[in-house]
Structure 1
């Protein structure tokens, strides 16, 4: 089938057009910005030059950062141009040779990550974690949880693209029965199914970003796996929070889906049960729906173990952006922030092994044996889609990683 003649309902059709960075084999191996169409990727920079587009300097790059920095108006203009290139017959003819099968290219981290922040926005996840670690507490949520989106700063240098192996981390750990901590490879390696949001337009230090300015700053989203060493994390996190139990690896999908492709996936967030301070209050009639209906699937060694629904997230990406800048902290092009583990209300919708196995008490039954936590050689794959125009799906790609021994 010719690259432009896609099957009806293809999740990577012209309604989607996510961005990535790829290289070709052989002597012409430079990295370049690509746009996915079906099971092909378009060399966006060369296509722009072939068609005499003014956006060629933005697209003929080795990362998405120049496009990210160009701002919301340019993002929309470039998207309209790309749509014309892949739908108008005369344009199709001019760029047909610039479409490459995905099977023939190497995909790379699509943007240079500036700062990385991770949140804790799912009430279902937070309650599950509270019940696991504080079973006698009167409330499984901490007192601040319904008042602000809890988060922490991660390590941008260990954000890796889908397909990158993850080395089992080592660190200090101390089981309840141990008299002293020990050092060695984590024995409770976990995943967290998340969605990452990619910042394009920077902000000025000292000036908070309002809820209503979310779409002026955030370019798009990707899938994110926040790998977690639960035993290392449990020993180190008091009193300052996550450190080595989280910082060893964060995997992201190779494709960044523009927010403009997700208009039909926008939904209202869950009902608020506590009043919010004005900078977080999204209840007004002038505030656009901040939630997204994203359907996530988690598989271990090809076996689906969970299907977390992103629409259940209590805190929205707009609220997270407003909160992490309310103190005057500035945004930079390439900032990445994670939603936090996505978990739904049922057992089959939990986004971490910590919850799925209830901290190892109830191991998962997989075709190749039981799993309380990840074993060396395990391959974890997150995939997702969102509702699109006319009932078609918008594919969000996948993020995969294989655990290798330390």
Structure 2
């Protein structure tokens, strides 16, 4: 007799749009600018370090918090980049990618009926984690074309049940970054509350046009209640290694580790040693922004010759565009059409809204080799309004 499954904990969750579009790209032999990962090799020195440490026998369990050498490098990185300090022993923890860190933070603090504020368009891992832990999601839309936070609406969402606010800065998919006025509003909003902030800052080192990344860790009134989540996948072009980190005050980190130890307990050991050794030779992380700005500008300038209306991209490695001058299709249908007819796969913005809000906007990933971008551009330039 077949097992009957009745009450799914995530009844509305299906295959992610990222998997769906990548599969379609493969089927159509299309250029995949949908899923957010590089198609070029990481630094050879980093790859050599990985092999060296594996051969040297660093292949067994690492400490729960991560190896000390890597935690110290993360602490140094925050001091160099942001002039703020996290103690490597009690305030830094290595995770199996940023997503695992985010899930663990939510699991450690969100209880039944707790409310969590999420800003849309939002990356798709936040809401399921809240629901699985019995929480209630309060969505607030940041709308086309500016994708700014309406802080008056945020204030109206806050209640005595608000446990957490999730920030994604720089924002995926919109490419927008928080400004000082946003920080000031957030400080005012959480003052004299017990609200915890989860700040997803995986694209922290990818901001453009000399615009600064304002990490919440810089502001004492926010730092005391904030988890900052980072990703070496984004920083070092190694998304498949699944190595991330979280930083938080020691009292919050103690609760995080209670859950972390029963989730993954520890993270890939030789990869931690490899990243740690690699970071020891880096004093300035600005080269990452420069690297991606060249790619952003290249794609941006090429797409200006198409009917797409480009959105402002202040950070991340995603450039988004409105296709209203090309088609009146729904955004997902347009993405299918673009993949099948012009052999370029992208992601529809509706996938980042709970109600599938359709603004006729799609997202291109430009973390790709030059030849990949050239092939995509060649196809996109054929599109007529």
Give the TM-score of the pair, scaled to structure 1: 0.24
**Bigger helix share:** 2
**Bigger strand share:** 1
Give the TM-score of the pair, scaled to structure 2: 0.25
Higher relative contact order, chain-length normalized (CA < 8 Å, sep 6+): 2
